[in-house]
């Protein structure tokens, strides 16, 4: 038994490791073909990552990615593909910023209010896709993609100065107004050189814990995973599949709503036209790479954030910083392929092992193995 467990652990790491090695090799190839020195590039990337201010940027970015990826992962565990995290977090951040700018409660309440609004808006936006799926059978992939576009248009309209937006004098940027200072989430300062880690990054880590606990230790999580593994079996076991689809879309949307919070509460304190976009799509990559596991997602968030942040000054050294985007794309392709390969290999290998152990007469029949 112990041996099987160890095997599973090794296989668990084999997928990502294989993916990264392949992605690394492909990236090198792309660079060589385009006449760039790959090793110079890698050296530069790591040199960037050795600066403490870049490290803080990476961690802050990773926190945001982590939340987006968790939102996607909740869907994945349920066999739902929530591509709409992007629209959900942007709409949620905007609404939360609006509420935060127009209400002034004492400290923690202000923050709690903003966060709750963000979660509700995210859940609402994802819930539309959930209701469409359960009542009309509309694929959530299609509806969430469309809801992304609708969210973009809706935000653009809402933020017009004639509606809820503010336009600072002498600026083309539109904002939703500043959130009262009581609603600024305190960060962890690492000195003036390095900057500040957003406080919400720690909330993100906490969300990872909750995610793990709910999925693995609660009845609800079991039902959710069962539905994701086999909807028919879950239904026979008493799960109301429609309710489960709707619930998990709502949860996924609520978590997506949090993805804008580190930036909003820790940095910009307002939603503006230059609020980060595309986090939701990066979240899909990260959830895939991290195999929907909270720790895996954390490591993948750091990796992608590293590529993002360490690549931004590359221009100064004669490299196009889009190289990082190419590398991320190569990682996605390698991940999809290598995980499937490792999964098949793992299934075969386990069947073989079970066969061997049974043939050797190691069937589980004694009390002492009950301890396992």
Cα dist from 136 to 56, 131, 132, 140, 252, whole Å: 46, 8, 5, 11, 20
> Of the two residues 4 and 25, which places its CB atom closer to another protein in the complex?
4
Minimal distance, residue 7 CB to another protein, in Å: 10
DSSP 197: E
Angle, helices 52-77 vs 241-258, to 10°: value is 170
Please compute Rg for the chain using Cα positions.
23
Minimal distance, residue 289 CB to another protein, in Å: 20
> Of the two residues 118 and 234, which places its CB atom closer to another protein in the complex?
234
Phi/psi region, residue 302 (left: phi>0; alpha: psi -120 to 50; beta: rest), is alpha
In the numeric block, the tokens 């000054």 are attached to 313
Minimal distance, residue 4 CB to another protein, in Å: 6
Minimal distance, residue 230 CB to another protein, in Å: 6
Residues recorded for the chain: 372
Residues 179 and 100: their CA atoms lie apart, in Å, by: 5
> Of the two residues 189 and 347, which places its CB atom closer to another protein in the complex?
347
What lies within 8 Å, CB to CB, of 316 at 6+ separation is none
> Of the two residues 43 and 353, which places its CB atom closer to another protein in the complex?
353
DSSP 273: T
Residues 225 and 216: their CA atoms lie apart, in Å, by: 9
Q: Which residues bind another protein (CB under 8 A)?
A: 1, 4-5, 8, 216-223, 225-226, 229-230, 232-240, 347-355, 357-359, 362-365, 369-370, 372
Cα dist from 215 to 80, 229, 333, whole Å: 15, 13, 27
> Of the two residues 273 and 358, which places its CB atom closer to another protein in the complex?
358
Minimal distance, residue 74 CB to another protein, in Å: 18
Minimal distance, residue 362 CB to another protein, in Å: 5
> Of the two residues 33 and 372, which places its CB atom closer to another protein in the complex?
372
Minimal distance, residue 50 CB to another protein, in Å: 41
> Of the two residues 74 and 239, which places its CB atom closer to another protein in the complex?
239
């Amino acid at each position: 038994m112990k041996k099987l467990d160890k095997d599973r652990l090794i296989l668990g790491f084999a997928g990502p490791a294989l993916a990264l090695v392949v992605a690394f090799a492909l990236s090198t190839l792309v660079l060589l073909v385009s006449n760039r020195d790959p090793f110079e590039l890698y050296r530069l990337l790591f040199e960037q990552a050795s600066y403490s201010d870049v490290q803080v940027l990476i961690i802050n970015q990773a926190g945001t990615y982590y939340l987006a990826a968790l939102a996607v992962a909740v869907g994945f565990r349920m066999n739902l593909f929530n591509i709409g995290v992007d629209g959900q977090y942007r709409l949620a951040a905007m609404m939360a910023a609006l509420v935060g700018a127009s209400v002034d409660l004492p400290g923690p309440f202000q923050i709690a209010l903003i966060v709750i609004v963000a979660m509700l808006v995210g859940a609402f936006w994802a819930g539309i896709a959930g209701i469409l799926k359960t009542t009309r059978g509309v694929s959530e992939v299609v509806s969430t993609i469309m809801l992304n576009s609708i969210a973009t248009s809706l935000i653009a309209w809402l933020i017009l100065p004639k509606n809820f937006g503010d336009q600072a004098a002498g600026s083309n940027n539109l904002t939703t107004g500043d959130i009262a200072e009581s609603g600024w989430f305190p960060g962890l300062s690492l000195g003036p050189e390095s900057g500040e880690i957003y406080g919400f990054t720690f909330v993100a880590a906490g969300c990872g814990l909750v995610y793990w606990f709910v999925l693995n230790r609660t009845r609800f999580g079991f039902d959710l995973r069962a539905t994701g593994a086999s909807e028919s079996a879950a239904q026979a076991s008493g799960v109301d599949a429609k309710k489960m689809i709707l619930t998990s879309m709502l949860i996924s949307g609520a978590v997506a709503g949090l993805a804008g919070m580190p930036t909003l509460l820790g940095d910009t304190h307002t939603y503006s036209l230059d609020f980060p976009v595309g986090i939701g799509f990066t979240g899909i990559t990260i959830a895939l790479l991290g195999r929907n596991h909270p720790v895996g997602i954390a490591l993948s968030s750091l990796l992608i954030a590293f590529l993002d942040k360490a690549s931004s000054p590359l221009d100064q050294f004669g490299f196009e910083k889009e190289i990082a985007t190419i590398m991320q794309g190569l990682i996605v392709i390698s991940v999809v392929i290598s995980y499937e390969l490792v999964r098949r290999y793992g299934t075969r290998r386990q069947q073989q092992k079970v066969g061997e152990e049974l043939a050797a007469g190691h069937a589980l029949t004694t009390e002492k193995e009950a301890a396992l």
